[in-house]
Structures are given as structure tokens and as C-alpha cells.
Amino acid sequence: MKKNMNMTPRSGPGSSSGGGGGGGRTRVGKYELGRTMGEGNFAKVKFARDSATGESVAIKVLDKQKLLRHKMIGQIKREISTMKLIRHPNVIRMYEVMASKTKIYIVMELVTGGELFDKIARNGRLKEDEARKYFQQLICAVDYCHSRGVFHRDLKPENLLLDDGGVLKVSDFGLSALPQQLREDGLLHTTCGTPNYVAPEVIQDKGYDGAKADLWSCGVILYVLMAGYLPFEDSNLISLYKKIFKANFTCPPWFSTSTTKLIKRILEPNPAIRITTPEVIESAWFKKGYKPPLFLEENVSLDDVNAIFNEEELDPENLVVEQREEGHVAPVTMNAFELISTAQGLNLKNLFEKHMGLVKRKTRFTSKCSANEIISKIEQAAVPLGFEVKKNNNKLKIQGEKTGRKGHLSVTTEIFEIVPSLNMVELRKSGGDTLEFHKFYKNLSNGLKDVIWKAEFLNEETNGAST
């Protein structure tokens, strides 16, 4: 495992010990769990620290019963299998998988540089050479995945992370496909992905080549990197699909002739004549300054993964136990590096020149009020909006009473201490529709004017499809 030297093994997001002498430490095996980095309907991703080495990692925690109830076992097993099969410097590394009687723990490489999407949101479009560098890493990773029979099927800037050295890492294989999913015609048949990035043949639901569909998404990503906005966009989904079917887009005037030519060959709506990934790699535009990464090939076994999902074969002695020391928990204290890496969004100035059709799934504000005051004010502001609030130390679970476009909106709120007189409050969408989350935050913040000291910049103009 590569040592992450930038995450210090002290109290903060990388550890679970509370600042100011609080308790509440949680351990799983040799790992000490810390703050929640991300949260979805079926999993949480937490900072964690190897108690023996002090190394920081990320652990994805999944609830077995919830997976069974929603018939998600197959998809999660596929994601874990995919992550273990792929050993490439531009793909998030999975170190190990553990299981308890009720949960599955996926231990992964911790990447601290944020999403590539955030880099564009902060700085605007990239220059050609920088965009090419990221595109080369993306294509290199995707080509390797395809050589292993793995197709991602949801490539977009939000699923492309950067490490602290600026190296691109492909993440989120939740919609990936393995060779076993190919039908007799040799094609995939599941319609999935994010509308603005999905290939036309995927939408048509007549079967598609996973490699060619992934390459289309890579072409959209290259366009976004260099333009700062999407090639295909419309607030009406049917109109958006019509644009995708016809490849109805234009390249901005600052694109070089060779860039425009390559993108048009990638965003060819007919997959039969679309350029292939090997042909992209051999193109003159791609080859400029390209240095393929050097890494060792590894033989990978999926026996342990299969055993985790087979209760009869899982040796009880190999089950881990989640141990928690109960007690009052003070707000987690952040050190300087953790504050900067966590709060990059506080200084957003440049938005996309056109609507991205993508919105942020979390937001933050700072407050000079105490944790108890903040919790009380949020509860007072949320309840009249039709939300139920559940408190757990310095965390709040806020859930809408009404069913929205994607079920009930759920928001997780957590408080972190920057210095004794200043707290940072993070609100994350943990369920429901992202656009509804933005509307909720806007209404909530109106009732928190005497609490908020400085708020993160929000994109209030987004009209596109939610994530």
C-alpha cells in the first residue's frame, strides 16, 4: 500500500477520535473509522486509518440487509469484483474486503485531490495540453479495463478523481459490466449511465458494445474539459436524446483543428464507424507527450469476494467486528491540510459558461455559533419545511415527509471544529433528488441567517438532469 503522506494521523477527517477530548471511537479490524466522506442510498464512504501503520484509506461500508431488500447483491458483488480485477495506476485501488455479520467493508485507496469536475468548476475550461494529459490518463485506464473485459458505463468528470499529485483516478464501478453479462450476440443490453454522457446506442436499447459506449463518454469528457460546458444539453430529456442521436453539437472556435477532428470521430452516433480506443491511442493528437505508465501485472483471485457473498462458505473466524466506544462526541477537529482539501468549494468563483446539467450534492457553511446552537437552529428551520430531524451527537439526519422525484429527500448534516470559536457545517444529500436538495438548502439557509458566517458558493441556475 502506498503511504499517503499528506493525511496526518491525528484527530480530523482521517481519524475517528473526536477533537476536544470526546469519545465515540469506532474500529473495524485493524482500521479506525473517521468521518463520512460520502453517502448514498446503499453505502457510506468513510475516512479510516490503519491503527498499526497510521496510513489513511477510504472504506466503503454497505449494509447486507439493505442490499438484500433492494436486490442489490449482484450489482455490489460486480463492483467489488471489478475493483479487485483492475490494477492500474489510473484506477482507484481496492486493498481488501472484509465482512461482519451485518456489513461489508471495502478498503480502498484514499484520493485527496477532489473530483476533476471541481477543477473545471473552479478554474473554468482547461488548455489543450492539460486537457490532453487528463484524457491520456483516462483513455489509458479505460483501455486497460476493456482489456480485462470490464466496461465502466458511467464515465463522467464526477467519477474521475485526482490524487495530491494531480494524477487522474477512475472511480465508481457501480454500473460496470463484466464479460459474464454479455448476451449471445456479444452485446450488453442494460440501459444505464448519466444522460448527458451516454452513447446513443445505449439509449436505443438494442444492444451495444461496452467499449465503444465508454469511448463516447470519454469524448464528451474531453469536450467538457476543453469547452467548460457540455456538447449535448437540454432541460427536456427527449430533446436531449434527439441531440445525442444526431450528434448535434458544435466545437467552440478555440478548439484546434486536430482536436475538433478527433472529437467528431469519437462522437460519431453510428458505433459501426466510430473510432476505436486503439485508434485514438494511435492518433497524432493523443500521442503528443504521451508516456504510458509502467506498472506490474498481478494475478488476481476472486475467491475471497465470492466467499463474502456466500454465508455458507464464510468462516465465522474471518468475520470482523465493529467495535464502538460510546460517549459524548465533541465536533471533530480539522488540521490545516484537511480543512483546505475539504473546503475547496468555499472559494468557487468560476462556473461553467453554459449549464452543465450537473449540480453539487453537498454544500458547507461556517459558523461562529456553538455546535449545540447550530443543531438547534437547523432543527427549528427544517421542521416547518416539512422535514423530520433526528439527532446523533454532532450529526443530524434530515428527511422529507413528502415523496419527491427520486423518493424522500434525505440530508446528512455534520459539524467540524476548525478552531474553538469557528465550526464548519457540511450538508450532504444522502438520498433523493439533487435539485430538490438545492431547493431545500436555499430555503433552509433563509432560516439560518443568524447562524451562517460564510456560505459556500452554490450554483442556483442549474436546470439540467439531476444526479
Cα 223 to chain centroid, rounded: 20
- Contact by Cβ (8 Å): 460, 431: no
Which bin fits 29, alpha (ψ -120 to 50), beta or left (φ > 0)? Answer: left
Q: Are 226 and 130 in contact (CB under 8 A)?
A: no
Q: Which ranges constitute the DSSP H helices of 86-170?
A: 116-123, 128-147
Q: Are the beta carbons of 316 and 18 closer than 8 angstroms?
A: no
> Which grid cell is 342?
475539504
Q: Is 433 one of the annotated active-site residues of the chain?
A: no
249-256: long-range pairs with CB below 8 Å, 24+: 249/223, 251/223, 251/227, 252/227, 254/226, 255/226, 255/227, 256/128
User: In terms of Cα–Cα distance, which of 236, 159, 231, 161 is closest to 199?
Assistant: 231
Helix (H, G, I), strand (E, B) or coil at 278: helix
Name residue, grid cell 463522467. Answer: 156
C-alpha–C-alpha distance, residues 437 and 187, integer Å: 37
Query: Length of the chain in residues, anyone?
Result: 467
Integer Cα distance of 230 and 98 in angstroms: 40
d(CA 166, CA 230): 23
* CA–CA gap between residue 182 and residue 151 (Å, rounded): 11
Write out the three cell numbers for 231.
456538447
Looking at 50, 154, 209, 214, which residue is catalytic?
A: 154
- The C-alpha atoms of residue 304 and residue 313 are separated, in whole angstroms, by 10
350, 123 in Cβ contact below 8 A? yes
Amino acid identity for residue 255 in this structure: F
Active site residues: 154
